[in-house]
C-alpha cells in the first residue's frame, strides 16, 4: 500500500499524535496554500505547542485539543480542500513524513522588515529619552507629592505624642489635628486614584512601544 495512503488512513483512525507528527500532517493537508501563508499558519500552531508544554500538557493532549489536521484543513482551505489530493507524491518527490521540520517551516526572514524594526527601535529610544521619560517622571513626581501629603493624616498621632510626653495640648491643636486628619485622608484617596490612572497610562504606553517594535501598525 502506498505510504501516503497508509498515512491518510492512519490520520482518519487515530488522533494520538505528538508534535512532529501533527506538524507533518498539517504540512501535508495544507499543501494547496501559498508557501509563506502555510509557513505562518504552521508557525502559529507550533507556538501553541510551546505554550501548552509550558503549562505541563503532553504533546498528544495539545494535538488533540488543537483538532484533527484534516478538520483544520477543511476550515482553513474551504473550497480548496481536496481529500483525495493527499495520495499524490509528486509534490517535491517525497512522502509526507519527509515534510520539513518545524525549524524549516519557519517563514524566511524579511530583511526589509528587520531594517524597519531597527530604525523604529532607534526612533523610540530617542523619543523616550528626550520626551516621554521626562514627562513620565514629572507625572509620577506629582503622584509622589500627593502621596506624601496624605501623611497629614498622622497629625493626631503627633498631637497625642505632644500630650503624653510633653504634657502640652491646646484646644486649637486638637482642632488643627482633626482638620489635618481629614485633609490627609482626602490626599490618600486622591493618591490612590492618581496612582491607578498613571499606572494604566504607563502600562499602555509600554505595550504600545512593544507592539510598534514588533511591527504592529494597529498598536
Task: Please state the domain count of the chain.
Answer: 2
Which 3 state secondary structure label does DSSP give 90?
coil
> Could you give the CA distance from residue 91 to residue 33 in angstroms, rounded to a whole number?
13
Model confidence pLDDT, tens digit, residues 169-186 = 777 888 888 898 899 899
pLDDT attached to residue 196: 93
Give yes or no: residues 19 and 92 share one domain. Answer: yes
Q: Chain-wide mean pLDDT for the chain?
A: 77
Give yes or no: residues 193 and 131 share one domain. Answer: yes
Q: Indicate the Cα dihedral angle 35, 41, 44, 48, nearest 10°.
A: -120
Domain end: 64, 87, 105, which one?
105
pLDDT attached to residue 40: 87
Give yes or no: residues 135 and 94 share one domain. Answer: no
Angle between helix 171-214 and helix 155-166 axes, rounded to 10 deg: 140
Domain end: 54, 73, 105, which one?
105
21 falls within a domain: yes
Give yes or no: residues 101 and 154 share one domain. Answer: no
Question: Residues 98-116: what's their mean pLDDT?
Answer: 54
Task: State the pTM of this model.
Answer: 0.43
Residue 9 structural domain: 3-105
- Residue 92 pLDDT exceeds 50: no
219 falls within a domain: no
Q: Residue 69: which residues within 8 A CB-CB, separation 6 or more?
A: 11, 22, 25, 26, 28, 29
Give yes or no: residues 75 and 124 share one domain. Answer: no
Give yes or no: residues 131 and 53 share one domain. Answer: no
Give yes or no: residues 22 and 82 share one domain. Answer: yes
Give residue 2's pLDDT band: very low, low, confident or very high (50, 70, 90): very low
The region of weakest confidence among 61-70, 103-112, 143-152, 155-164 is 103-112
Model confidence pLDDT, tens digit, residues 118-153 = 888 888 888 888 888 899 899 899 999 999 988 888
pLDDT attached to residue 159: 80
Question: Which single residue is written with the C-alpha cell 530583511?
Answer: 111
Instruction: Identify the residue with better confidence: 165 or 206.
Output: 206
Domain end: 87, 105, 123, which one?
105
Helical (H) or strand (E) element with 100: none
Give yes or no: residues 93 and 115 share one domain. Answer: no
Give yes or no: residues 119 and 172 share one domain. Answer: yes
Give yes or no: residues 74 and 24 share one domain. Answer: yes
pLDDT attached to residue 3: 45
Model confidence pLDDT, tens digit, residues 186-204 = 999 999 999 999 999 999 9
Amino acid at each position: 500500500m502506498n505510504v501516503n495512503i497508509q498515512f491518510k488512513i492512519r490520520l482518519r483512525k487515530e488522533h494520538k499524535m505528538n508534535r512532529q507528527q501533527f506538524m507533518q500532517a498539517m504540512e501535508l493537508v495544507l499543501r494547496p496554500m501559498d508557501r509563506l501563508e502555510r509557513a505562518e499558519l504552521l508557525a502559529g500552531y507550533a507556538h501553541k505547542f510551546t505554550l501548552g508544554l509550558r503549562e505541563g500538557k503532553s504533546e498528544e493532549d495539545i494535538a488533540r485539543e488543537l483538532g484533527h489536521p484534516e478538520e483544520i484543513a477543511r476550515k482553513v482551505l474551504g473550497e480548496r480542500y481536496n481529500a483525495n489530493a493527499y495520495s499524490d507524491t509528486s509534490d517535491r518527490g517525497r512522502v509526507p513524513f519527509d515534510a520539513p521540520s518545524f525549524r524549516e517551516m519557519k517563514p524566511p526572514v524579511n530583511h526589509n522588515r528587520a531594517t524597519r524594526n531597527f530604525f523604529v527601535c532607534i526612533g523610540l529610544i530617542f523619543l523616550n529619552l528626550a520626551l516621554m521619560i521626562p514627562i513620565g517622571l514629572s507625572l509620577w513626581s506629582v503622584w509622589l507629592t500627593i502621596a506624601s501629603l496624605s501623611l497629614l493624616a498622622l497629625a493626631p498621632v503627633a498631637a497625642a505624642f505632644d500630650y503624653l510626653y510633653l504634657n502640652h495640648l491646646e484646644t486649637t491643636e486638637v482642632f488643627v489635628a482633626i482638620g489635618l486628619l481629614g485633609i490627609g485622608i482626602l490626599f490618600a484617596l486622591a493618591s490612590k486614584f492618581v496612582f491607578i490612572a498613571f499606572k494604566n497610562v504607563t502600562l499602555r504606553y509600554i505595550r504600545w512601544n512593544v507592539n510598534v517594535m514588533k511591527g504592529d501598525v494597529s498598536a
